[in-house]
Amino acid sequence: MQILISAILARLLTPSDFGLIAMVIVFSSFVAIFSDFGLTSAIVQKKEVSDETLSSTFWISVGLGALLTIALAASAPLIAAFYSEPRLTPLVVFISTTFFIASFGNVQSALLTKSMNFKALAIIGICALGISGPISIFLAFSGYGVWSLAWNAVLSTSITVVFTWIYSRWVPHFSLGLQRVKGLLGFGANLTGFSFVNYFARNMDNLLIGRFLGPAPLGFYNLAYNLLLFPLTNVSDVVGRVMFPALSTIQHDKQKVREAYVTANRYIATVSFPMMIWLLVTAPELIKVVYGPKWTSAIPLVQILALTAILQSIATNVGWIFLSQGRTDILFKLSIFTTIAAAISFAVGLRWGVEGVAIAYTIETYLVAYPIFAVTFRLIDLKIRFFIAKLWSIMLATLILGILAFLLRISLEKLGVTQSVAVVAIVTAASLLSYSILIFLLDRELFTGTVKLLALLKSGHREST
């Protein structure tokens, strides 16, 4: 649904439209850091939380939501002046309302996560996307331009809150006691500190590109980045939403935590590694088929960032360990190091335009990977050599797949197969078959486990239906 909706919007709107929204997101993402001071994540991490504490957290969240909406709306003229884009002022004011709206569902969403009711969370997400997406497409088709994207954000947030209340069945009391949330503040404060520092690592590229290169280059970069985020948000992040509460329940059994962490990352890598290589190889045809010819400037960005996404699909998962072990203090300190490295790389890469930023980002991601894993794995006594050994068969299969897929694409061009749809279809089918065979030959245990997992998911789908 996400790919389909984004593809339709990309054909109806311009790169500048997406660039304008990306400019707003740079600042709204910063404001979002302070939406609840990490209190809702602390609710998930703590084994027991009283109803009084939940109610107090709810009203604190609502109060913060109101303040953040006012603060971002008041900053709209300054943000527009920073980018020299007057069109941003009403957009920022409108999108700022999402913070107040979202604040009414933060605690309910945390309770659904804590109880691991992911079926409800999935339904909520699907409903929000399924309702807001078609409406934004209708608005784009009707000529509303960038406002169709703005309405998509506000509608999606509103629908999510409504359905979260329906499924959580928890209603707050009209009580407020700051003393009651004191036990959550230590965890939440460090998590907020991490989010504050990590914001600059995640958004400095968008900030610099938008400020110095303009909305169109930022639109191309943002589309490529979001395309590469798809496996992260729909594989790593989805698994992470399960792993955080699950690992929190066994946080004192380091052996079980290690086994669960390694196993989850093996399955994530099995999906994300080949997906990124497939995107890298098929990008020239895939972008034209899905988004249209006006987005061809995004092709090299997709290919460069695909290499980043391979590592990020497992590197971002270190957060599971910090959160479940209650060590957000170390996470905060580590984020300072990674943010400085990212900021330097973006500033250096900007000299060579948007592609230079993408290349610098990729290099920085690989350079900081080892210290990140070394610090994190120490918390659960996990050796980096052991972790890499568990992923070695997947890495080898992905490398071979990349070579085979690239050779096949070149061969199709020489044979005169020039239709983008045909090239993508043939390379995709061949990639699926060859990768399955490679995993079967290189790691029989992983292949068997994946088949069993797919069968389990299928049977679970039938039962829920």
The per-residue pLDDT for 414 is 86
The answer to whether 133 touches 1, Cβ cutoff 8 Å, is yes
What DSSP state is assigned to residue 295?
G
**How many angstroms separate the Cα of 285 from the Cα of each of 70, 258, 411, 433?**
44, 41, 14, 20
Which token pair is 274? 């080949």
Closest CA to 392 of 431, 438, 427: 438
Place of tokens 């913060």: 64
Which token pair is 195? 């989010």
Segments of 229-381 assigned E as strands: none
The per-residue pLDDT for 190 is 59
The answer to whether 420 touches 288, Cβ cutoff 8 Å, is yes
The pTM score is 0.69
**How many angstroms separate the Cα of 280 from the Cα of each of 68, 157, 409, 439, 460?**
39, 32, 12, 20, 33
The answer to whether 175 touches 58, Cβ cutoff 8 Å, is no
The answer to whether 27 touches 75, Cβ cutoff 8 Å, is yes
In angstroms, rounded to a whole number, what is the distance separating the alpha carbons of residues 235 and 298?
23
Q: Which residues contact 456 (CB under 8 A, 6 or more apart)?
A: none
Question: Helices (H) and strands (E) in the chain — how many of each?
Answer: 21, 0
The answer to whether 80 touches 86, Cβ cutoff 8 Å, is yes
For 47-76, b/e burial (b = at least 16 CB within 10 A) is eebeebbbbbbbbbbbebbeebbeebbebb
The per-residue pLDDT for 464 is 45
What DSSP state is assigned to residue 35?
S
Closest CA to 103 of 48, 51, 37, 175: 37
DSSP for 40-67, please give it.
HHHHHHSS---HHHHHHHHHHHHHHHHH
Radius of gyration of the chain (CA): 22
The per-residue pLDDT for 194 is 62
**pLDDT tens, per residue, the chain with 465 residues:** 887 898 899 889 988 898 899 889 888 887 777 776 666 666 666 666 667 777 777 888 888 889 889 999 999 999 999 888 888 999 999 999 999 999 898 888 888 877 777 788 889 989 999 999 999 999 999 999 999 999 999 999 999 999 999 888 888 877 665 555 555 555 555 566 666 666 666 677 877 888 788 788 888 888 888 777 766 666 666 676 666 666 666 667 778 888 888 888 888 898 889 999 999 999 989 888 888 888 888 899 999 999 988 998 888 888 778 777 777 678 777 878 888 888 888 888 888 888 998 999 899 999 999 988 998 888 888 899 999 999 999 999 999 999 999 999 999 988 888 788 889 999 999 999 999 999 999 988 888 887 777 676 555 544 444
Q: Where are the domains of the chain?
A: 1-176, 197-465
